Amino acid sequence: MVESTARLRQVRITPQKARRVVDLIRGKQAAEALAILKFSPQAAATPVYKLVASAMANAKVKADAESSYLDEQDLFIQRAYVDEGTTLKRFQPRAQGRAFRINKRTSHITVVLSTPVADAENSPVQKKTVQKKGNR
């Protein structure tokens, strides 16, 4: 199982707007996520597209280092989340000598790609036991 991570820090997009885009691709296949992001009209789609492409490249390099086979069609987005970065605080002059505060928010975006687990025994899904109904 190959797992690769890509992080993008201090992106000048508000976390709320970036989360809308990241929610579109969470859990999807990596190639499908790139297609969704390419045609998504939101401004946050461009940096997230580059981030997913970077994570795919990281997975390829990691697989080459481990001397294992990696098919890019097997990669899927295991985790994708947006954290709030630093906020740039600016002031804009207003009427009668007042000042109006403007918060320019930034985001930290993280994408984790992985391949599915080959063995069913290693998966975290628990097997259900079937109880037989007996005579009373």
Q: What is the pLDDT of residue 131?
A: 59
Q: Say if pTM beats, i.e. exceeds, 0.85.
A: no
Asked if residue 40 belongs to a domain, the reply is: yes
Q: What pLDDT does residue 134 have?
A: 63
48 belongs to a structural domain: yes
Q: Is residue 127 part of a domain?
A: no
10-residue block means of pLDDT along the chain (136 residues)? 94 96 95 96 96 96 90 93 97 96 97 79 51 62
Domain extent at residue 36: 3-114
Give domain status of residue 130, yes or no: no
Q: What is the CATH number for 71?
A: 3.90.470.10
The CA-CA-CA angle for residues 54, 57, 62, to 5°, reads: 125
134 within domain boundaries: no
Number of domains present in the structure of the chain: 1
